[in-house]
Structure 1
Amino acid sequence: MTPQYPEDRKRLESRSLVVAMWGNLFMAAAGLLAGILSNSNAIMMDGLFSLIGFGSALLGRRISLRIDAGPDKLRPFGYAADEAIFATFRSLSLLGLVLFAVANALKSIYSYLNGMVPEPLIFAPMITYFSVIGVTCAILWGFHYFTWRRTGRNSSILQVEAKAAMFDGLVTAAAGVGLGAIYMFRDGPLASIAPVGDSVIVMLLCLLAIGSYVRDFRGGLGELAGISASPAKLAAARRSLRAAIAEDGGTLLDMSVTKLGRTFLVSVYYDPDRAVSAMEVDRLNLRMIRDARQALPGADVMLMITEHPRRWPDEMNPN
């Protein structure tokens, strides 16, 4: 059941992000310690991912606490853009870490091919690490996912954190399987790559991760650039406004929908086909906002009384 009041949603979201902070900090410390004890770059990289997760949860909580604040002198359009900025730069920081890990793995492989044998892996600490971190990731994913559902499924921050926890769990599981295979077959089929098996796994994990992070980065960048929302969201907004427009009796000339974080901005270009007062325009705008929020939670409607759609006719264009 979705909480009725914004304060309750904010409290639940803040609690989930506090859990994310401490969970990621624990996993980061465990990963760095286990990476040192086992001489494993793959585990070290896993710990660095969690360290970035701690920082992002800390920043995400600060953004969450003020995301619903309305326009003010400093931010005349409100604080909705902070969520899109968060998602964009979190993906960018993870991409940077992936590229760093790839460069280190390639360096290790190159050194091995030139006769430099890396320190052997110590497998004993790995079993405890993969077991504990796998359970922690599952708990974090469940906590974020069900909080996201309880708060109306419109928090990009919680959605990103749930996805990150799930992906971190999958990466941890993949690293565990890969290192386990190297341990079991280090004197058999995998003997030739066993000395650099850790670096090979890092490469494979990075290839697995990079596509997801590029998509997240492009999605956040698209929101910041003001790209139109998906056709499904546009159709939902159009349906939600039909009743208000039919009752008012005017003509819908054009409409656009953009997404920014958890909010949607519906721009309505509307000709009332009659003289209207400012009070009538305000009432129609508020009706549209209420109706739009039934289809798109967090939506706002900008009603523009005009004879033209979003682009001025060429003969009138001041440019």
Structure 2
Amino acid sequence: MTSTVEKRLESRSLGVAMWGNLLMAGAGLLAGLLANSNAILLDGLFSLIGFGSALLARRISRRIDAGPDNARPLGYAADEAIFATFRALSLLGLLLFAITNALRNIYNYIGGMMPEPLNFAPMIAYFTGIGLMCAVLWGFHYFTWRKTGKKSAILRLEAKAALFDGMITVAAGAGLGAIYLFRDGPLAPIAPVGDSVIVLLLCMLAIASYARELRDGLGELAGVSASPAHLATVRRALRSAIAEDGGRLQDMSITKLGRTYMVMVYYDPDRRVSAAEIDSLNLQMIRDARTALANADVFLVISEHPRRWPDALNPS
């Protein structure tokens, strides 16, 4: 479980993310309007979603390790996976909106409608300042994630988002700079809609990453099995406790939910056992599993059968 120090570090990092993203969002929206640039507006909207995500993540982080209660019988581990899924879905929605808008602008230009010209004056200060801020945020989140044991999916996602936002900013700056330098040369045919072309390219660059985040988040919420490597690692860690107890491991499954790994152990003790003995074995398995996989939790199921009832016994 996450210690008090780790939770404080995580909360501080998310606070920095929240206000940093709010500042970048304000700068992006203002610079986008002054420069008449959809690419800069898109960058600002990314940061605005980042602010909302950091605000939500901070609230989730405070209760992520709360145990089961009446409201949440399985605890609050799922909140982290819900957050990652929601964030990816929000960003994908923004990308689809930006793609639609950019394609409409290009279509109108081909049809003879000339878009308003770009104002390049505010761009240098914007791209320089936002690029540096993204680098600072990435470093802050990344080193906090390492300090807290690389357990927080929220911090990992925030570090990745800051890095990706910085890459988007640099790419947008480079593209708009090229349009400015070559608007009367090789890029003259697309210069009037160069901003929309850059938006399309940036969206194509980003969409695969956020689609992958959405897939992973939905997979966790759907209870998809963790990787075979994690399964093998935990199985090895539990061998000692099983051998000492003398029973038989019938089956084992692992699912990941946020930063928690849910290990289901289907176990036949092959003898009569008391509840106290089962509790003692379960606690030993949890300790052993956590030496191999941080934040693992073991649910010990006493049964003669694996995770699925045999067809002859399965209630109709």
Q: TM-score range by the shorter chain?
A: over 0.9
Corresponding residue for residue 16 of structure 1:
13
Q: State the secondary structure of the residue aligned to 2:43.
A: helix
Corresponding residue for residue 186 of structure 1:
183
- Counterpart-to-counterpart distance in 1, 2:57 and 2:255: 22
Query: Aligned partner of 1:185: which letter?
Result: F
Alignment partner for residue 131 of structure 2, among 111, 134, 146?
134
1:254-293 superposed Cα distances (whole Å, 9 cap, x missing partner): 0000000000100001111111111111000000001111
Question: Are 1:275 and 2:297 an aligned pair?
Answer: no
Corresponding residue for residue 90 of structure 1:
87
- Counterpart-to-counterpart distance in 2, 1:256 and 1:170: 38
Query: Aligned partner of 1:12: which letter?
Result: L
Alignment partner for residue 112 of structure 1, among 109, 112, 117?
109
- Counterpart-to-counterpart distance in 1, 2:211 and 2:198: 20
**How do 1:239-250 residues align onto structure 2 when only pairs under 5 Å count?**
239-250=236-247
> 2:92 touches 2:211 (CA, 8 Å); kept in 1?
yes
Alignment partner for residue 219 of structure 1, among 216, 226, 245?
216
Contiguous gaps of at least 5 residues in structure 2: none
> 2:2 touches 2:65 (CA, 8 Å); kept in 1?
no
- Counterpart-to-counterpart distance in 1, 2:152 and 2:292: 16
1:181-233 superposed Cα distances (whole Å, 9 cap, x missing partner): 11111000000000000000000000000000000000000000001011111
Alignment partner for residue 143 of structure 1, among 128, 136, 140?
140
Q: State the secondary structure of the residue aligned to 1:18.
A: helix
- Counterpart-to-counterpart distance in 2, 1:145 and 1:244: 36
Corresponding residue for residue 154 of structure 1:
151
Corresponding residue for residue 204 of structure 2:
207
Q: TM-score, normalised by structure 2?
A: 0.99
Percent identity, aligned pairs only, is 74
Corresponding residue for residue 281 of structure 2:
284
Q: State the secondary structure of the residue aligned to 1:124.
A: coil
1:63-84 superposed Cα distances (whole Å, 9 cap, x missing partner): 0001111111111111111000
The alpha carbon displacement at 1:5 in A equals 6.6
Q: TM-score, normalised by structure 1?
A: 0.98
How many aligned residue pairs are there?
316
Question: Are 1:166 and 2:163 an aligned pair?
Answer: yes
- Counterpart-to-counterpart distance in 2, 1:282 and 1:172: 54
Contiguous gaps of at least 5 residues in structure 1: none
| CA 5–81 in structure 1, closer or farther in 2 if over 3 Å, else same | closer
> 2:223 touches 2:256 (CA, 8 Å); kept in 1?
yes
Alignment partner for residue 29 of structure 1, among 11, 26, 31?
26
Alignment partner for residue 44 of structure 2, among 47, 58, 77?
47
Alignment partner for residue 250 of structure 2, among 235, 250, 253?
253
Q: State the secondary structure of the residue aligned to 2:122.
A: helix
Q: State the secondary structure of the residue aligned to 1:267.
A: strand
Alignment partner for residue 197 of structure 1, among 172, 194, 208?
194
